[in-house]
Amino acid sequence: MSFRSAEDARLISLVLGGDNRAFDELMQAHEDRVFAVCLRILANREAALDAVQEVFITVYRKLQQFSGASAFSTWLYRIAVNTCYDQLRRARRHEVLPWPETTDPADAHSANALESIELRPDLERALAALTPDFRAAVVLSDLEGLPLQAVAEALDVPLGTVKSRVFRGRRLLAEHLRNLSGSSVHQRGEHDA
């Protein structure tokens, strides 16, 4: 059992015993990642903030239903994804505008920070263009780094379905981006020669 899992179990026990400060600690430990998932699925900062609030209200009300069969974070991601799906269904009649590009930091994994900043808006638009099912699978797998089995548990779908959604989501992202990063590198190489 990891430190986070052990700490989550300890905090859950305290919350179920009536310690509201323990719930605050539990929420603080997970709110950034829940916000990141909601932001990427909803593609709207205000909607994501609303979703995070709704997620933790749901967690507080249903914490006694957490069985411990999976990691708390997996159960939490399932609630977050379902909350986002609910918001997307409610908002279908209203246009959702993307959040300002300046609110998202450069990709820390990119070797070139300038290239990362240039690609970020294209990536966010490409993610927003995916269906919610594909977007959730790609966000949890590729952006949050969850193992596919954990993604399957969080989305409450079979592992094969997750593999298919991640594969198809990645392919749609690549089509939408027109392999932007690969063509940029190739073009730079031609100009340098």
Nearby residues of 4 by Cβ (< 8 Å), 6 or more positions away: 29, 73
34 touches 52 (CB < 8 A): yes
The C-alpha atoms of residue 139 and residue 147 are separated, in whole angstroms, by 12
By three-state DSSP, how is residue 48 classified? helix
Q: Which domains does the chain have, with CATH numbers?
A: 1-99 (1.10.1740.10), 107-193 (1.10.10.10)
Measuring CA to CA, which residue among 117, 145, 132 is closest to residue 172?
Answer: 132
Average pLDDT of the chain to the nearest whole number: 81
What pLDDT, in 10s, does the model give residues 71-99? Answer: 999 999 999 999 999 998 887 755 545 55
Ranges 22-36, 103-117, 142-156, most confident: 22-36
Give tens-digit pLDDT for 108-147.
Answer: 444 444 444 445 677 788 888 889 999 999 999 988 889 9
- The enclosing H or E element of 160 equals helix 159-177
* Angle at which helices 113-129 and 159-177 cross, to 10°: 120
